[in-house]
Structure 1
Amino acid sequence: MANDQCSKESNCAKTSEEPYLLDSSTFLSEEMNNVGEFRFNSNRHANSSLRFSNNDCTVEWIEASQAIWIPIETKAKLHSGKWSLEFDVEWMGTHQIGVGFLLDWNIGPDWGFFGYLGSSRSAWSYDPSTGDIVTNTESVHGNLPKFTGNSGVIGLELDLPKNEIGKFTFIVDGVRTPTKQLPKSGAVAIPAVCLLSRGQKVTIRNLIRLNQDKTTLPVRNFSPIPGHRYFARTTNGAIQFTEFGINSSLIDPVTKAWTRVVCSIERMSTNSSRIRFNGPVNTTIRSNLALRLSYDEAHSWSVSRILYSGLSAYSDIAIVGNGTRVALVFENGEETFADRIFVAIVPASWIENG
């Protein structure tokens, strides 16, 4: 997508500080748990010719503009692990389009002199109209899969270790491209798109953290000190659990006839630093089914919202709608906690604003 003209909406940062690429190996604990939000940064384009929808996970060029292209970055800052995500190009038309990512600098991402995705040496773009991977205005790999029509899905896998050189792979309508290396270790990646024609529309979806180093299991507590959930943590994919204890923030009902209750835990796809948990919050009876939210890898649960105040027991949770909604199935009833089964779908914002 080389072009001698620069979009008026390109991102240009000015600072007296010497620019350097961010290195996740230097992050403090708070930074390690922060990967931003998996949605487009609509704040940068509040008065532009773009329309954002689907909780800012979809962007469409709808109005005439003097810009030749419009670059749009997300609020996500992915690092310290393996990630996968998808760009659903809902309409491309007959023009070029770019999807990919930029590396984050201390002064913000570098869109390059021309201001499109793939214009700088720290940004990579896939163009499904030509079948090229572009960086620093040049195609570094061509003759790759193209869309056969005006739409298609491009996956992106990012391997971003803290202390090793990272790498990435595009998946175009199910076909994997050759894996490319990043310039340095500890890279922080910002997914982004670049629209080159009015009418083009892209949705980002299905952000998943692969092979995550740490897993937490909240389990039923049969210890001599009941009333709260027990936890176990692993850092090697559940081969061995090395941390155990009682989580005083998570209530576990204790009754004479029943042995605790099965609950559910789920990591958000839009923001992997947020973990949701659901279960009763009454210490003596199975009632008051609540949704809980953790920002620190399930060490504490700072947000709690009661979803169902009556008798309720076993439940399961799933993240749906590109992370914008939470779906639950749970037992409940008037006379007992298992008279019937309900399905509820609530906005993720309802929990976060609790």
Structure 2
Amino acid sequence: MKTAIVKPTEDLKRIVLLTSQFSDEIQIQSLDEIMKDRKIEVIITEKNDLSSPDVIQMRDQFSNHKILILADSVDAFFQKTCLAHDVLLIPKSLSEKERLKLIQKSWFGLEDQTEFHNVVAIHGTHRQVGVTQIALSLGLKLGDFNLKTLVIGLNPYNPGEIHNVEAPYSFEQIYDLVENNVITDGESLTPYLLKQNSFYYLVGNRDYYKALMFEKKPIERLIHIAKDHFDIVLLDIGSFYDGHLPLTGLECSNTHILVSSQESISFSDYKRWKEQVLVRFSFHPKSIYQVVNKMASRAIITSKQLRDAHNIDILAQIPYFPEANDAEIEQGILYQADYRPFNKIIEGIARAIQEEILEGINTPKKSLLNFFKRES
């Protein structure tokens, strides 16, 4: 949703940055500037000198926009005016987490926990950015934590085969069984999965011809079956967003982790996908983070540039793995190659996912970013 920040402040910028539905922003000094851009759907501003008549006038002028006002303190009449004219009033006294929760509940009907609370979608800015190996490595580590973990391949064009491991079944075969009600629960699903060390794996689609033929409902049903049976479900979305496989995965997940890199294609490819495809859909993850893969300290493109370009906070930076291709061939999963700089970050992300998903069910949820701050 394109968002206009009127007279931007750091508080307003943080709200836009951390609200996943606000995918595009402009910063302006006057409401008059909004009239020039018909794509704007959300207006956020601070109260400052706004009065109740100003709120009424703003609503009359922008009848179809979502309007948010951040205020230090307000009188009862101003509160009632905002309520009567469908303007979301947020007190500055609320914590950042409380502000975001109020936005999600008021505008998007989302509670703190969603039905997909234990489903994490891992997707990339461009091809070969490392989504599959990160998903497999996280699956392995989460399994080591004695969590019943399943990784599902939802990349339409890359099955994500583990080198020298022959999986007897792949996604397109499972899809038919789910669609025809042969697989109806976790018990009937498990025999078709590959048990790889400490976790389960459903290899992705092996049939290019079928890549764009999959329908939404069977994919959604599979994710429902998986999340009810497993402690944690990781979805390997890949980096192509042109079909129901990746799009349903993004829709049916509570946490999104975008994998980027310090390559120019990380900017250009994902920008096109967002502007031409993803903007047409409405995803409502509770949390969205970015992981920079193959991180080099002296590269021209910095993690700050990636954060600003994608408007997503950096959760972790996975260091460049000099012999990753050979390690993948020899070990199958990069985490098993025991390259300590890589493994240390994977372990940190896995612990953060564990804490966010499992502790968030019964206790106030701690963000993954706060987890990494504690660890550092």
> Larger C-alpha radius of gyration, 1 or 2?
1
What TM-score, normalized to structure 2? 0.27
**Which one has the bigger strand percentage?**
1
Higher relative contact order (CA 8 A, sep 6+): 2
